[in-house]
Amino acid sequence: MRFLRRRRADADAAEAAEAGADGTSTGAGPTGAAPLDTAPESGVTADARAKADEFWRRWEELLPEVAAALGEGAPQRFDHQLAEAVAGVHPDLTFSVEQGEEAVYALVISAQADPELRPYTDAWKAAAPEADALFEYHDSVPPVPDPTQVTVNLRDRRYALDEVRVFARVDEGEGLVDVAVYHPGFAGLESEARSALTFLPLDAALGERLAADRLGRVETAEAEPSGAVGLLEFRDLVRRLDDPNSSE
């Protein structure tokens, strides 16, 4: 097995991930690297709150155009304006418009697990309007409802995430989970693509924030480890660690 540091550039090497349902996405902003065990910083500044308020004022103005463009399948019509509005909160944030979990669409603003950016996404989320039938709002990339239904297109080949097996070792003292990830497709991939196929299932199962807060060491496994579980069982384990009172 090989120890990996979390590298967002590796995940970006994936050409697409499909969850079995049509969605719309658009994004802008640089990607960054962050260790998985980075804890969030506390304290939202007045500057962050002011920038968040300005974003939501601008969003209210853009919303009719955004809704019309999405309805016509032309998200590029608002991409530049929305990118400028997000950059006004912080230039290093990324955004996407995805299929919503309960609403039709979800606007996702991500700090890419960077603790220095978290106060800006915290302020943005705190000032967000209530979700409605059209839009819901997330301050990190949410988990896929059922990651075992996802197929990743990587290097012109398809990899089903229901074949992923994860060996998890809980460090109760640190509140982290060290993992070894196995996929039978690893054997045919070079190093960077293998790294992408290691992290993509973890992000799909846990979502960006839970993965950043609760994953420690991440390794690829050349053979399926004894005691490994599927992604849904793995997600339940991490969620119980994160919230012992959770019924999930």
65-89 pLDDT per residue, tens: 999 999 999 999 999 999 999 999 9
Tokens linked to 119: 């106060």
**What's the pLDDT tens digit per position in 186-216?**
998 999 899 989 999 999 999 988 998 899 9
If pLDDT is split at 50, 70 and 90, which confidence band does 21 have? Answer: very low
The pLDDT value recorded for residue 110 is: 87
**What's the pLDDT tens digit per position in 90-144?**
999 989 898 888 999 999 998 877 889 999 999 999 999 999 999 999 998 889 8
The pLDDT value recorded for residue 28 is: 39
In whole angstroms, give the CA distance from residue 107 to residue 130: 12
Distances (CA, A) of 61 to 14, 54, 73, 81: 34, 11, 20, 11
The pLDDT value recorded for residue 247 is: 57
Q: Which of 94, 229, 231, 31 is nearest to 150 (CA)?
A: 231
Q: What is the pTM of this model?
A: 0.64
Q: Which of 77, 83, 114, 115 is nearest to 96 (CA)?
A: 83
Q: Is 208 helix (H, G, I), strand (E, B) or coil?
A: helix
